[in-house]
Amino acid sequence: MYQAASSQNILGGSIHGNVQIDGQFYVTDSAIGAPEVPEQFLSNGFANFIYERENFSAGLRYENYTNPILGFDPRYKGNGIPFRYLNYKNKEIEITAGNFYDQFGSGLVFRTYEERGLGYDNAMDGLRLKYIPVKGVYFKGIIGYQRDFWTKGEGIVRGVDLEWNINESISKLDSLKTKFILGGNFVSKYQEDQNPVYILPENVGSGSGRLSVIHGNLMLTGEYAYKANDPSDQNGYIYKDGSATLITATYADKGFGISLGAKRIDNMSFRSDRDANLNSLLINYLPALTKNHVSILPAHYPYATQPNGEYGMQGELFFHVRPNTLLGGKYGTDVAVNYSRAQAIDKVPTGDDMGYTSEFFDLGEEVYFEDFNVEFHHKWSKKLRQILSYIYINYNQDVIEGTAGHGHVYSHTVMLETTYKINSKNSIRNELQHLYTEQDKQSWALVLLEYTISPRWFFAAFDQYNYGNNFEAQRLHYITGTLGYTLGTNRFQVGYGRQRAGIFCVGGVCRTVPASNGFSFSVTSSF
Amino acid sequence: MKKIFPVIFVLLAVSASAQDKSTARPLPNVDVKDLTGSTVSSSTFENGGKPIIIDFWATWCKPCIEELNAIHEVFADWQKETGVKLITISLDDARTMQRVAPFVKGKGWAYESYLDPNGDFKRAMNVNMPPQTFVLNGNKEIVWQHVGYVEGNEEELYEQVKLVAAPAK
């Protein structure tokens, strides 16, 4: 059966898009502290439509958050079309009018993006020009306002970025073994000062320079960003300037890879409204240099960069142990080792409105986050494979969640995942996870079972059991069952069960999602 | 009324997608980055009239890695039989982007790999969540796509590749 990707032909062009709806019926469950939901049913939904014809495209997104799901910022409540654009692109030039997402370099100065599932969207609404004047030279210019839920921020954001791929543009260097890419940008925001007491800077400029050097399998990249004084809610209205430095080095060869990263962040929160907080109106993006754990128990303790000041470093090693060796067995073993750490920069208070001074290489004492993890992927036979991992996390709960009196959570997690392929269509998967900690809610155990029938069906059930909780009444089971059905690009999923209160980090800010119990569904579709 | 609206919305959207007008559409022209950071336009993706698979993935997406591993084991045969090329588009952003090259090499994958750190190509292709897989015919038109991965899905994917590779298309 030839099931084609369906799209519609209109006016000689094509229309395509996607849609997603998530909904949940809430059940009262006082044992886990699930809040009462008067509406009983909450849902989030959106649909994208894109029209394309040759060099021209146009698109819009309709969003429906009539009553957003628990854990979403309540300011999302509403519905409408917050995202629409017209775009023209040929070989040299691209013009976008309306909404767009973009980033300069690694985003230390400017990045607008969306994480629909987590409720993050700081899209620009304005104009963008991309231009390639000569081969290897890439220019971008942007101006506009940023999205803030159903309104726009009052600050104007404008910026330019220039990237020079030296080997591309100078044909003599094209065959050179070492490649260089240079880039630089400048972004400024304007926001009127209406404060009766302080004289606040109405224009705040920020810029960065970046360089990548690639030699064979070795790649080095570095970016340094600077921001002029920018008193804001986030930094406590101090007049100190800010900076961010990000350096990474990677080496990769067949069956072997290593990556090292380091960064220093100093007073680098940059928003188009100085009074904005949480996930609102961020102009830049400060990446966390930590592994993004997706397994359920280690994801209890995620991390986000501390924009007011942080040293971070990460090292990671991947290698493939060849088959027919002691550790490799018949099919070989994949090994990954990762270590990361984030801690304070040293700050010397000045006692005035400059806030503090900080020497570039002086580390502060407080550790924000530390993670050591190791992972083995081994295939025993054509039918059976396993993943064994260990994760140690030192989580500074007060700093990351913005609370007081909790201190650090030190956790050790061991996980074993087993996949058994019964035949070409049917498979069974099992996950066993155990998280040990003396702090927070103490230890957890998890059992997950999944059965899949390719290409359409999956069934999964898991139990998270907080068996180690110091309070006997809190030693609860969080049991969830899920059923999924996929037909081409349509995916339907229903679930029933308890969700624990959790923490999600996006856009550099972590927020807590309350516990809940009930029936949930999700529909996604591309067309 | 408020409860009914989302339900209608779902039905409309799903029925729109199920209409299956089955017109192949051209690949959107969007810039991505190669693993060394150079800008590459998706219009330059090429396989000399043979089928192309485009697979959206990320280093933090487990089913994506399972899918690419499963294909890796049979890919030499696929290439021999159909001449297919597999292009991976990583959705890792500045946080995990530097992991992609060592990760891909560490796995020994023989795919053409690109980065889409701000999701431009992802949006143009209407990808909700990875993995999402597309099959392109010899004219580089999207003729089939699939969301998600469960064990064994690679066989359905290969059936589609073979359909496209067959001379009578």
- The tally of domains found in chain A comes to 2
pLDDT at B2: 47
Residues of B in contact with A211 (CB under 8 A): none
Cβ–Cβ below 8 Å for B128 and A318: no
Does B5 reach chain A within 8 Å, measured CB to CB? Answer: yes
Whether residue A165 has pLDDT greater than 50: yes
Work out the burial of residue A196: count CB atoms within 10 Å of its CB; fewer than 13 is exposed, 13-18 middle, 19 or more buried.
exposed
Do A181 and A165 contact (CB within 8 A), yes or no?
yes
Whether residue B142 has pLDDT greater than 70: yes
Give the residue, A411 or A198, on which the prediction is more confident. Answer: A411
Is A434 within a domain? yes
Cα angle B127, B133, B138; round to 5: 115
Whether residue A395 has pLDDT greater than 90: yes
Do A344 and A370 contact (CB within 8 A), yes or no?
no
pLDDT at A5: 45
- As a whole number of Å, the end-to-end CA separation of chain A is 18
Cα B168 to Cα A6, B27, B137, B162, B164, distances in angstroms: 21, 22, 12, 11, 9
Whether residue A510 has pLDDT greater than 90: no
Pairing of strands B52-57, B85-90: parallel
Is A59 within a domain? no
pLDDT at A508: 61
Does A355 reach chain B within 8 Å, measured CB to CB? Answer: no
* A103 and A180 belong to one structural domain: yes
Give the residue, A174 or A378, on which the prediction is more confident. Answer: A378
- For the stretch A46-63, pLDDT in tens is 999 999 998 999 999 999
Residues of B in contact with A6 (CB under 8 A): 17-23
Is A297 within a domain? yes
- For the stretch B5-17, pLDDT in tens is 555 555 554 444 4
**Element of type H or E holding A263:** strand A256-266
- CA-nearest residue to B142 within chain A is A5
pLDDT at B167: 64
**Mean pLDDT computed over A374-401:** 95
Q: Residue A220, SS3?
A: strand
Is A118 within a domain? yes
* A266 and A315 belong to one structural domain: no
> How many other CB atoms sit within 10 Å of the CB of residue A383?
12
Do A303 and A343 contact (CB within 8 A), yes or no?
no
* A372 and A445 belong to one structural domain: yes
CB contacts < 8 A (A, B): 251
Cβ–Cβ below 8 Å for A48 and B126: yes
Dihedrals φ, ψ of A214, to 5°?
-120, 125
Is A488 within a domain? no
Do B65 and B57 contact (CB within 8 A), yes or no?
yes
pLDDT at A277: 87
Name the pLDDT band for A444 (thresholds 50, 70, 90): very high
Whether residue A300 has pLDDT greater than 80: yes
- For the stretch A197-234, pLDDT in tens is 888 999 999 999 999 999 989 999 999 999 999 999 99
The segment with the largest mean pLDDT, out of A351-355, A433-437, B101-105, is A433-437
**Mean pLDDT computed over A91-113:** 96
Name the pLDDT band for A324 (thresholds 50, 70, 90): confident
* A442 and A349 belong to one structural domain: yes
Does A120 reach chain B within 8 Å, measured CB to CB? Answer: no
Q: Which of A233, A277, A294, A267 is nearest to A511 (CA)?
A: A277
Does B76 reach chain A within 8 Å, measured CB to CB? Answer: no
* Range of lowest pLDDT (A287-301, A391-405, B7-21, B139-153): B7-21
pLDDT at A328: 85
* A215 and A160 belong to one structural domain: yes
Q: Which of A254, A287, A320 is the last residue of a domain?
A: A287
Q: Which of A246, A264, A287 is the last residue of a domain?
A: A287
**Mean pLDDT computed over A420-437:** 95
Is A18 within a domain? no
Does B9 reach chain A within 8 Å, measured CB to CB? Answer: yes
* A333 and A250 belong to one structural domain: no
pLDDT at B17: 46
List the structure tokens of B135: 């099959």
* A267 and A327 belong to one structural domain: no
Domains and CATH numbers, chain B: 24-165 (3.40.30.10)
Whether residue B67 has pLDDT greater than 90: yes
Does A9 reach chain B within 8 Å, measured CB to CB? Answer: yes
Whether residue B1 has pLDDT greater than 90: no
* Range of lowest pLDDT (A74-78, A470-474, B17-21, B53-57): B17-21
Residues of A in contact with B120 (CB under 8 A): 101
Name the pLDDT band for A175 (thresholds 50, 70, 90): confident
Dihedrals φ, ψ of A243, to 5°?
-155, 160
Pairing of strands B112-115, B85-90: parallel
pLDDT at A327: 84
**Mean pLDDT computed over A75-85:** 95
Cα A412 to chain centroid, rounded: 24
* A308 and A282 belong to one structural domain: no
- For the stretch A222-278, pLDDT in tens is 999 999 999 999 999 999 999 999 999 999 888 889 999 999 999 999 999 999 988
Does B11 reach chain A within 8 Å, measured CB to CB? Answer: no
Name the pLDDT band for A100 (thresholds 50, 70, 90): very high
Residues across chain B: 169
pLDDT at A397: 94
Does A45 reach chain B within 8 Å, measured CB to CB? Answer: yes
> How many other CB atoms sit within 10 Å of the CB of residue A395?
27
Is A159 within a domain? yes
Work out the burial of residue A162: count CB atoms within 10 Å of its CB; fewer than 13 is exposed, 13-18 middle, 19 or more buried.
middle
Name the pLDDT band for A455 (thresholds 50, 70, 90): confident
Does B152 reach chain A within 8 Å, measured CB to CB? Answer: yes
* A278 and A295 belong to one structural domain: no
Write the CATH number for A113.
2.40.160
Work out the burial of residue B26: count CB atoms within 10 Å of its CB; fewer than 13 is exposed, 13-18 middle, 19 or more buried.
middle
Cβ–Cβ below 8 Å for A21 and B10: yes
Domain that holds residue A138: 91-287
* A185 and A203 belong to one structural domain: yes
Q: Which of A475, A497, A521 is the last residue of a domain?
A: A475
**Mean pLDDT computed over A463-479:** 95
Q: How close does chain A come to B103, measured CA to CA in Å?
A: 6
Name the pLDDT band for B21 (thresholds 50, 70, 90): very low
Sign of the C-alpha dihedral computed for residues A453, A458, A459 and A463 taken in this order = positive
* A247 and A360 belong to one structural domain: no
Name the pLDDT band for A117 (thresholds 50, 70, 90): confident
Dihedrals φ, ψ of A74, to 5°?
-60, -15
pLDDT at A196: 86
* A466 and A389 belong to one structural domain: yes
Specify which residues B142 forms β-bridges with. B25, B136
Do A116 and A46 contact (CB within 8 A), yes or no?
yes
Cα A334 to chain centroid, rounded: 25
| Bond from prior residue into B131 cis (ω within 30 degrees of 0) | yes
Radius of gyration over every alpha carbon of chain A, rounded to an integer in angstroms: 25
Nearest to A66 among B2, B150, B163 (CB): B2
pLDDT at A115: 87
Whether residue B93 has pLDDT greater than 70: yes
Whether residue A341 has pLDDT greater than 90: yes
**Mean pLDDT computed over A419-446:** 95
pLDDT at A87: 97
Q: Which of A118, A144, A65, A85 is nearest to A503 (CA)?
A: A118
pLDDT at B8: 53
**Mean pLDDT computed over B45-62:** 95
- For the stretch A5-40, pLDDT in tens is 455 667 788 899 999 999 999 999 988 988 889 999
Is A367 within a domain? yes
